[in-house]
Amino acid sequence: MPPEDNHRVDVHLDKLLTKRGLTLTELADRVGITLANLSVLKNGRARAIRFSTLTALCHELECQPGDLFTVRPPT
Amino acid sequence: MGFIERLRKPDWLQEMQTTLTFVLVVIAVLGGLTVIPLVTGDSLVAQVPTRAVAGVAGASGDLRPGVVIDPHGTVDVLVRNPDAGQVVDKALISMPTYLVTVTVLVLLLGVLRRARRDNPFLPATVRRLRVIAVVVLVGGQLAFTIETVAAMDLSARVTNKHMGTIFDVTPVGIWLLLGFGFFAIAEVVNRGRAMRAELDSVI
């Protein structure tokens, strides 16, 4: 069984949504994932993301993965 | 799916479900065939030690030279017009295992049906498999105990206090193995459930 992962990944979905003038619901519809899952991602509670989902998000938000995620330095 | 297609790509859950249903029907029929004569019949067969029957132990009859009836074994005897106690004993010699087996098969059929219909890696599936394991472990040992005591009691009732039955502990081992087997399968499914939960958290 894999160990519990405490990640240091910050998700900048809110900023990008505001920039593109999209709501979470609209983005979820366009990307093809549920609003619940997108909320989980936005709040940093996701454990992993599929490349296909990442591609779709970056396409809709017109960004790169590095714009969407940053890794905090260790404390 | 056509018949040929089914032969090439069997759905083992479906095959097992069909087989279990068939076995349950057969067992129900056999159970009925066992119980009905007990209730309506005027005789029953009991096992007694050979030493309880004069002239049998060590006898050879039509057996080849050097072959005799085992003096430490048992023989089947016909009990005419058995009393209620003897009938109850006879029923208790086979019904417990029959009941445990039917219960387990019905529970297993339920698990298979749900596994085919939904996602099999659910907490409920793990729970049901563990219930089956407990039924097998506890029910099996209980059945063995009841059947052994009933066999000994029946032998005592039809002879002059000769308590005799071959004390075969094989069923104890079989029930234990089956019980632990179901617990192991439940654990495998439980790990699958955990992995599935992990996968479900992938966005």
pLDDT at A7: 84
pLDDT in tens, B99-110: 999 999 999 999
**B130 vs B41 pLDDT, higher one:** B130
Residue A64 is classified by DSSP as -
Rg of chain A taking only CA atoms, in angstroms: 13
- Which of A4, A35, A47 is the mutation pick for testing B, counting most B CBs within 10 A? A47
> Which residue is closest to B193 within chain A, CA to CA?
A1
| DSSP state for residue B136 in the 8-state scheme | I
Contact A24, A38 (CB under 8 A): yes
**pLDDT tens, position by position, B134-174:** 999 999 999 999 999 999 889 888 887 666 666 788 899 99
B161 vs B81, residue with greater confidence:
B81
Q: Do B201 and A1 touch (CB under 8 A)?
A: no
- B194: nearest CB among A1, A40, A49: A1
Contact B202 A48 (CB under 8 A): yes
Backbone angles phi, psi at A70, to 5 degrees: -135, 150
Q: At what angle do helices B84-117 and B12-40 cross, to 10 degrees?
A: 160
Q: What is the mean pLDDT of each run of 10 residues along chain A (75 residues)?
A: 68 94 95 93 90 96 95 90
Q: Given pLDDT bands bounded at 50, 70 and 90, which one contains residue B96?
A: very high
What integer pLDDT is reported at residue A63 of this predicted model?
95
Is 90 exceeded by the pLDDT of residue B72?
Answer: no
